Structure 1
């Protein structure tokens, strides 16, 4: 059994929902998972492993999440870490267009930097949810202009499969 830190950044709840789903799955495998909003997350030193997830805004992780990783680099490099990002890239790719510069499977630039510094075991990009209230007026106009569709595009089977992979790796450690 591992004690796992689940830290996430979510403006509208989509990423929080994915983080909670991953945490519940890891709990089912006998791990103890503590879920925290990244701005309130404790230092990573007190955990056996960490899963960090963020919504993408303009194709990047929010500043508070980047700051958390940088503050905890020394601790994160010494334990298994998994990263996930949530955005519309995967859903947009299925509709045949780019959104915020990302297609399914592309990692935000900052995640590439984290690969070099903390060496995460994996980074996964999940589709999120988007509603008109999540966007500014200008954002809604732009989104309509690219024929974006509103809705919840989270693929729970994908989330569960990735969670199972993490759980198996934790059990093997």
Structure 2
């Protein structure tokens, strides 16, 4: 029976959801039973063998649904392998260098003993929700900076760790 993996995400405009879905797809192709769900409605995590939590970054803070998910499931997350990802920079910086987690994400990682974190570029396009987001797009600072080959490579690395651990049991 394949390991079951939850990829929970917090998003406002959907770009972090698309990253989470790509992560779950890579994991499924690696032989894991992975599903991507909104963090606000993901429910009980104890049925999963591992969890990936992703959140969009807004003004230096992780999306509230991702933060609440980690807080609500803190004990269960501490008992299983967990990885975090953030999405947000609206420039190519995430593809050019490793961007450390923002302080709140770092604290959450420490609380659940997360194995790793990565920051991916964000996406903010026409039709974005929120006054600030619309202003950013209107001023020409939006765009799609997600690097799906990098996202897929990271997900494959996480999946590889889980498959190897499963085989060594």
Q: TM-score, normalised by structure 1?
A: 0.84
Aligned length: 162
The answer for the alignment partner of 2:36 in structure 1 is 35
Cα offset for 1:137? 5.0
Q: 1:11 to 1:163 in 2, by over 3 A?
A: same
Specify which of 116, 121, 130 is matched with residue 127 of structure 1.
121
The answer for the alignment partner of 1:113 in structure 2 is 107
Supply the RMSD in Å over aligned alpha carbons: 2.1
The answer for the alignment partner of 2:26 in structure 1 is 25
Cα offset for 1:128? 1.4
Are 1:172 and 2:164 counterparts?
A: yes
Cα offset for 1:143? 6.4
The answer for the alignment partner of 1:47 in structure 2 is 48
The answer for the alignment partner of 2:149 in structure 1 is 157
Contact kept in structure 1, 2:125 and 2:137, CA below 8 Å? no
Instruction: Name the SS for the 1:46 alignment partner.
Output: coil
The answer for the alignment partner of 1:75 in structure 2 is 76
Runs of 4+ in 1 over 3 A off after TM superposition: 135-145
Question: What 5-or-longer segments of structure 2 have no aligned partner?
Answer: none
The answer for the alignment partner of 1:2 in structure 2 is 3
